[in-house]
Chains A and B, each alone.
Chain A
């Protein structure tokens, strides 16, 4: 697979999936090979920041839930 051959644009779910797995730090070889060809760095960075924000948000929700059970 050459770099020039594929300049397919990655779809939104594809970016989201790549970033999700990156948070766990696990990625199938086949998937990352398509990632590395199709994803643009900007996409990954933006998705990563959104992912981090979502994670923070989820944790806050979780914390709220736990605390509401306490009182």
Chain B
């Protein structure tokens, strides 16, 4: 991977010294700068993480004991639904787009994103969508409460909150599609001379593939929710059995989007981990080509496994077997990746600064999520576990310890480049260890709860489940509070601007363009002259 770089270093001050962009609030509203937009994406997603987190903590507070204490069952359903929607569409996805905005131009030597104005538009759609989504709490009947998967027929029976949710999803989908077009065009057309596709940093590759996935499946989601909308208001019966429609068809369409969607949330994470591990092992990524091939393969295979979410809806045996086999196959390229990361670390001269801690933590804990996924893929097993807490444990292992840990790893890795200030290493390490411990305290017991038969999405439960639920709730509050530490660490670099000044290349093993060719912080306009990559 390591592209040898022609060093006619340009210490890059703004050549004519004028910055004719508005200041204050209008700077952010009107900006077309990829760094500003990346920053806004990241702050937006962190805000959503906190909001989604508060919902989750309310859920965990209710579940601390059997019986109903804090919320009524209707509101509880709104909480689980909104927690899922906010985390998936508001926190994880925009965070990765934020990384893409900041890092892709810097890593391929481009001056900005290809469509700078559209970039502004894709971002500013998001707060609008988020407001719509959250305002649904305040309309009659409350927020959507059919689960983040908004299954029919529940989604057809709810009040106007569901419509707000549908519109919010439409807008976020439009934002994602525009973001993807921007990312693809930037990567395909704006690479520095000499940066061939197979020399691109892994993070750029994973985003290229993710962007194609997004363009392929966001319209499918849009279709599903539009059909829901017309069923609700315009007399159609796509999903309404009473009118001759088929609720199971909704599940097929939703999961044809939904499974690729889970890869949309993990591929950029793989990309970040593939940058961090080589940098701290001081070795090039083992099997770079394999990684590219494995990522494409995962992307293609992700389209033929969707019904593993539907093993209990009464599919014919042939269908059950097909989706079971296909799902188990997808674990092969995923395993290849884990193997490659381990091989990269093998005999490397490793150090464990916070980004590396999160990356290694990612490998351990994400892999556990991969294994529970494999167990759920075994259809006769899934028939027992479907809709239990085992599934909840599975996807939090891959999404929190996977996607979110990768987001943390990436933030610590690049924040010196973004702000010019080193983060507080001691606090970073605390953040990692507390997150790791509390994460496992929260979600590990959920495996046992699931195996013992506790259903997901319920406000009350049988008393034999009490102890594990209490452990999980304590862990959840610990995990939530720990994230305030992360907020402080980031604020310290970005707003308070306290800490050591970061050198241009704080990680000696990091060899991509942003480290070798740009000072820290990266100047507002970078790579006006494209670097030559050999």
Contacts and interface: CB of A to CB of B under 8 A. Distances in A.
Interface of A: 3, 21-27, 29, 32-33, 35-36, 48, 51-52, 55-56, 59-60, 62-64, 66-67, 70
A32 B318 contact: no
A63 B318 contact: yes
A45 to B, nearest CB: 10
Interface string B315-328: 00110011001100
A27 B332 contact: no
B216 interface: no
Contacts of B317: 67, 70
B290 A48 contact: no
Contact of B321 (A48, A51, A66): A66
B300 interface: yes
B434 interface: no
B336 A25 contact: yes
A71 B317 CA distance: 12
Contact of B198 (A32, A60, A62, A66): A32
Interface string B162-196: 00000000000000000000000000000000001
Given A23-B333, A27-B293, 19 more contacts: A21-B293, A22-B296, A23-B300, A25-B332, A25-B337, A26-B290, A27-B287, A27-B289, A29-B289, A36-B198, A51-B300, A55-B326, A59-B322, A60-B318, A60-B322, A63-B322, A64-B318, A67-B317, A70-B317
B441 to A, nearest CB: 34
11 contacts: A24-B333, A26-B290, A27-B287, A33-B198, A36-B197, A48-B296, A55-B304, A55-B329, A59-B325, A62-B325, A67-B317
A47 to B, nearest CB: 11
Interface residues of B, number: 28
B2 interface: no
A29 B295 CA distance: 16
B485 interface: no
A48 B322 CA distance: 20
A22 B326 contact: no
Contacts of B332: 24-25
Given A52-B300, A56-B304, A67-B317, A25 B322 contact: no
Nearest to A36: B198
A10 B172 CA distance: 41
A32 B287 CA distance: 10
Given A52-B300, A67-B321, A25 B293 contact: yes
A25 B333 contact: yes
Contacts of A63: 318, 321-322, 325
B325 A26 contact: no
B335 to A, nearest CB: 8
Interface string B195-206: 011100000000
A25 B197 contact: no
Nearest to B291: A25
B297 interface: yes
A34 to B, nearest CB: 11
A69 B242 CA distance: 39
B294 interface: yes
Interface string B481-522: 000000000000000000000000000000000000000000
A3 B322 contact: no
Contacts of A36: 196-198, 289
Contacts of B198: 32-33, 36
Of A3, A24, A51, A67, most buried by chain B (CB within 10 Å of CB) is A24
A3 B196 contact: yes
B300 A25 contact: no
A67 B304 CA distance: 20
Interface in B263-308: 287, 289-291, 293-298, 300-301, 303-304
A30 to B, nearest CB: 10
B297 A32 contact: no
Contacts of B291: 25
A23 B289 contact: no
A19 B304 CA distance: 17
A59 B326 contact: yes
A51 B329 CA distance: 14
Given A29-B289, A32-B198, A52-B304, A22 B321 contact: no
A52 B291 CA distance: 19
Contacts of B326: 55-56, 59
A67 B317 CA distance: 8
A24 B298 CA distance: 9
B322 to A, nearest CB: 5
A70 B320 CA distance: 14
A59 B287 CA distance: 28
Contacts of B287: 26-27
A10 B13 CA distance: 46
A33 B266 CA distance: 27
The 10 closest A-B pairs by CB, nearest first: A25-B294, A25-B333, A32-B289, A22-B293, A25-B336, A36-B198, A63-B321, A27-B289, A23-B297, A63-B318
A25 B197 CA distance: 17
B495 to A, nearest CB: 42
Contact of B293 (A26, A52, A59): A26
Contacts of B293: 21-22, 25-27, 32
Contacts of A55: 301, 304, 326, 329
Given A36-B197, A36-B198, A25 B297 contact: yes
Nearest to A25: B294
